[in-house]
């Protein structure tokens, strides 16, 4: 099974703002960025398309599904593909968040420590692992398009390629970036 995993395009939010589960709009350059993603995928026929339900992913997934050959021609939303839930920190400037004692604990062990009212990276890994297990029910020759966020993209890499989740930020994931993995 082939997975084509795409991170959403550039969001329209102040740089340095903490957002994960917050549904933020996409920048005014969306169409140009979406066309660049489409160019990378042209000629590929997909059997399935999944997206985070957040609009920054769903909008890109709908754009791509409308221009690509997707057998089911339906984007299926899956909340397990959402970004990390930063809880009480959502919508706050990282500069302000970073000054709190809870943030220092999280920075020291973001894999196990949950954001106040939110998730740890282990929680996100568990969601993505569960999603991957469900994909096992698809035919082995499935070609799956997944539109998601930076955190889950890194989780797919850790879970499929192996590696230490504490080193996830070594995986660079640009907005509109694509990775291809075999499952």
Residue of 21, 45, 77, 83 with catalytic role? 83
Backbone angles phi and psi of 25, in degrees to 5:
-75, 170
66-75 average pLDDT score: 76
Q: What is the pLDDT of residues 32-52, one digit of tens each?
A: 999 999 999 988 999 999 999
For 133, the token pair is 């297990």
Give the whole-angstrom CA distance, residue 45 versus residue 87: 38
Contact assessment for residue 153 and residue 146, using Cβ atoms and an 8 Å cutoff: no
Respond yes or no: is residue 8 known to be catalytic: yes
Give the residue carrying structure tokens 């740890």: 120
Q: Which domains does the chain have, with CATH numbers?
A: 2-182 (3.40.50.1240)
Pairing of strands 48-51, 143-148: parallel
Mean predicted confidence (pLDDT) in 81-95: 98
Candidates 8, 33, 48, 149; catalytic one: 8
Question: What pLDDT digit, counting tens, does each position of 3-31 carry?
Answer: 999 999 999 999 999 999 999 999 999 99
Residue reference for tokens 């282990």: 122
Q: For residues 136 and 133, give the distance between their C-alpha atoms in angstroms, rounded to a whole number.
A: 5
21 as an active site residue: the answer is no
Model pTM greater than 0.85? Answer: yes
């Amino acid at each position: 099974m082939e997975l084509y995993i795409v991170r959403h395009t550039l969001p329209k939010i102040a740089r340095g703002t903490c957002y994960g589960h917050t549904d933020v709009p996409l920048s005014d350059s969306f169409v140009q960025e979406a066309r660049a993603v489409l160019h990378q995928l042209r000629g590929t026929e997909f059997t399935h398309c999944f997206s985070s339900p957040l609009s920054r992913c769903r909008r890109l997934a709908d754009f791509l599904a409308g221009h690509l050959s997707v057998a089911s021609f339906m984007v299926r939303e899956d909340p397990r593909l959402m970004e990390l839930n930063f809880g009480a920190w959502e919508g706050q400037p990282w500069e302000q968040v970073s000054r709190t004692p809870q943030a220092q604990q999280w920075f020291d062990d973001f894999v196990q420590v949950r954001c106040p009212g939110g998730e740890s990276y282990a929680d996100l890994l568990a969601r993505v692992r569960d999603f991957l297990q469900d994909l096992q029910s698809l035919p082995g020759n499935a070609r799956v398009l997944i539109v998601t966020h930076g955190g889950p993209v890194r989780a797919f890499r850790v879970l499929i390629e192996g590696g230490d989740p504490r080193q996830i930020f070594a995986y660079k994931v640009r907005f509109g970036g694509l990775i291809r993995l075999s499952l």
